[in-house]
Amino acid sequence: MCPSPRRPSRTPPPRPPSGGAPCLTSRQLGRLEEAFASWAKRAARADVALSRRRVRLIFLLIRHTGARLREVLGLDLRRDLDPGRAVVRFRKGGGGRGRAREVRIPAEVAAEAAAWSAAARAGRSGADALALDPAHVRRKFYERAREVGLPAALGAPEAIRRARALELLRQNVPLPVLQRVLGQATPAGAAAYVRFSEADLRRAEAFYLERGRRRTTSARNAFYGKVAAVRRGDVQAGVGIALPSGELIQAVITRESLERLGLRPGGWVAAEVKAPWLSLAADGSAGPTSADNVIAGRVQRIRRGRLTAEVVTRTAAGVELCAVITCESLDRLGVRRGQAVQIAFSAFAVILHGA
């Protein structure tokens, strides 16, 4: 059983960071994970160790799902954990009959949750729910943050949730998928050509999260979507790909590739565009273009070299695109951070992979 939490201090708890405050980096999140693991191992008694493992598990679930503290505290692991598929289910309104939102978690976190659940059922508590006093949980989170030299506010559950959201954005997870993971309302994209069901978004989530864990350098300008249309020519074929973020990408491949990949309307496909194949134009200055794909975005960052520059943009739907252009072109365009631009690329530049 969990030991009785200490009486709350008269000092108000630290406030979590707001939109303009510092945010945890992935490295700092890793340091917090290590602090929780070390703290759990230091327990001298079995009941204290079980209690500390519960708090650590609450941290791991927030860290890897971006869920709210109350959502995690409301989990019943016998009902809401599927260790075989490595998913947890958050139910709206609580209770066993609420509509569930499934979120994938790392296999090792699913295994730890299953192990803790079994140990809790075998113990005197006889329960494997994660319910704890939220104030007690927050104090333990603040303590671990201080242990690793971080401000206590950065250990707040809200700060960890926000850091996970930013981590997923950096992995180029489309906004609708991110909103589904976080349990936020998902607006319908005005440019959506294909309907995406809950199962579709779960599939897209799995693709982007697994790609983020692999952290390959070739993951830039990678998309995952449903085939909206296939137009067959004599030698080549046009493929329209609807993304969960609302964009429609056009690709041209050979008929042989079309058959080899087995592409059909409604099927899934992965696509990528090499950074040198993207061109940029200042928003409002671009006239008619022969590019098949033109997407509006805003410059996030620029890394300039001696001959070329890397320009990273983000679309309104949250998709990050990276273009490599010459420094001469960069100067001619006058591109600056925060500037609205148009990103264009040919349908022939899109490489398709079987999903």
Give residue-wise pLDDT tens across range 249-260. 899 999 999 988
| 281 pLDDT higher than 60 | yes
- The CATH code belonging to domain 26-170 is 1.10.443.10
Position with higher pLDDT, 287 vs 192: 287
Q: What b/e string do you get for 302-314 counting C-beta neighbours within 10 Å, with b at 16 or more?
A: eeeeeebbbbbbb
Please tell me the distance from the alpha carbon of residue 261 to that of residue 355, in angstroms, as a whole number.
9
Q: What pLDDT score was predicted for residue 25? A: 83
Q: pLDDT band for position 268 (50/70/90)? A: confident
Q: How many CA atoms lie within 13 A of 27 on its CB side?
A: 1
Share of the chain above pLDDT 70, in %: 77
Contacts of residue 291, Cβ cutoff 8 Å, sequence gap at least 6: 279, 344, 345, 346
pLDDT at 348 over 70: yes
Per-residue pLDDT averaged across 33-62, rounded?
Answer: 94
Q: What is the mean pLDDT of residues 32-56?
A: 94
Dihedral sign, Cα of residue 111, residue 208, residue 216, residue 313:
negative
- What pLDDT, on the 0 to 100 scale, is given for residue 12? 44
Task: Give the mean pLDDT of 8-25.
Answer: 50
CATH 1.10.443.10 location in the chain: 26-170
Cα–Cα distance between 70 and 82 in angstroms, integer? 20
Rounded to whole angstroms, the Cα distance separating 67 from 72 reads 7
Distance of CA 272 to the CA centre of its chain: 19
At 183 the pLDDT is: 81
Average per-residue pLDDT for the chain = 81
Kindly give the pairing relationship between strand 340-345 and strand 279-282: antiparallel
Per-residue pLDDT for 146 more than 90?
yes
pLDDT at 134: 94
If pLDDT is split at 50, 70 and 90, which confidence band does 279 have?
very high
Reference 310, options 351, 274, 348; nearest CA is: 274
Longest dimension (CA), the chain: 77
Do residues 186 and 179 make contact, with C-beta atoms less than 8 angstroms apart? Answer: yes
Is residue 15 over pLDDT 70?
Answer: no
Helices (H), the chain: 26-41, 46-65, 69-73, 77-80, 107-122, 134-147, 157-170, 175-182, 198-214, 255-261, 327-333
User: Tell me, what's the pLDDT at 20?
Assistant: 46
Least confident of 49-53, 220-224, 293-297: 220-224
10 Å CB burial of residue 13 (0-12, 13-18, 19+) is middle
Cβ atoms of 250 and 237 within 8 Å: the answer is: no
Name the one residue in this structure whose structure tokens are 């350098």: 217
pTM of the predicted model as reported, rounded to 2 decimal places:
0.57
pLDDT tier, 145 (very low <50, low <70, confident <90, very high otherwise): very high
Instruction: Answer whether residue 216 shows pLDDT above 50.
Output: no
Tell which wins on pLDDT, 337 or 188. Answer: 337
Question: Which part of the chain has CATH 2.40.50.100?
Answer: 198-271, 273-346
CA distance 175 to 196: 13
Residues in the chain, total: 355
The dihedral of CA 333, 337, 340, 341: what is its sign? Answer: positive
Please say if the pLDDT value at position 342 is more than 70: yes
Quick: pLDDT tens for 77-126.
999 999 999 999 998 765 555 577 889 899 999 999 999 999 988 876 55
Least confident of 135-144, 201-210, 219-228, 336-345: 201-210
Phi and psi at residue 309, to the nearest 5° = -135, 145
Identify which has the larger pLDDT, 318 or 10: 318
Is the pLDDT reported for residue 18 higher than 50? Answer: no
Predicted pLDDT of residue 287: 59
CB of 226 closer than 8 Å to CB of 267: yes
pLDDT score at 282: 83
Cα 52–81–2 angle (5° rounding)?
25
CATH number belonging to domain 198-271? 2.40.50.100
Q: Which amino acid does the sequence have at 269?
A: V
What is the pLDDT at residue 182?
80
Q: Tell me what pLDDT residue 236 has.
A: 93
Q: How many Cβ atoms are within 10 Å of 294's Cβ, its own excluded?
A: 13
- The residue-averaged pLDDT of 55-63 equals 96
What pLDDT does 330 receive? 92
**Under DSSP, is residue 75 helix (H, G, I), strand (E, B) or coil?**
coil
Q: Looking at the predicted structure, is the pLDDT value of residue 32 above 70?
A: yes
CATH architecture, domain defined by 273-346: Beta Barrel (2.40)
Q: Is the pLDDT of residue 172 over 70?
A: no
**Cα separation of 238 and 347, whole Å?**
8
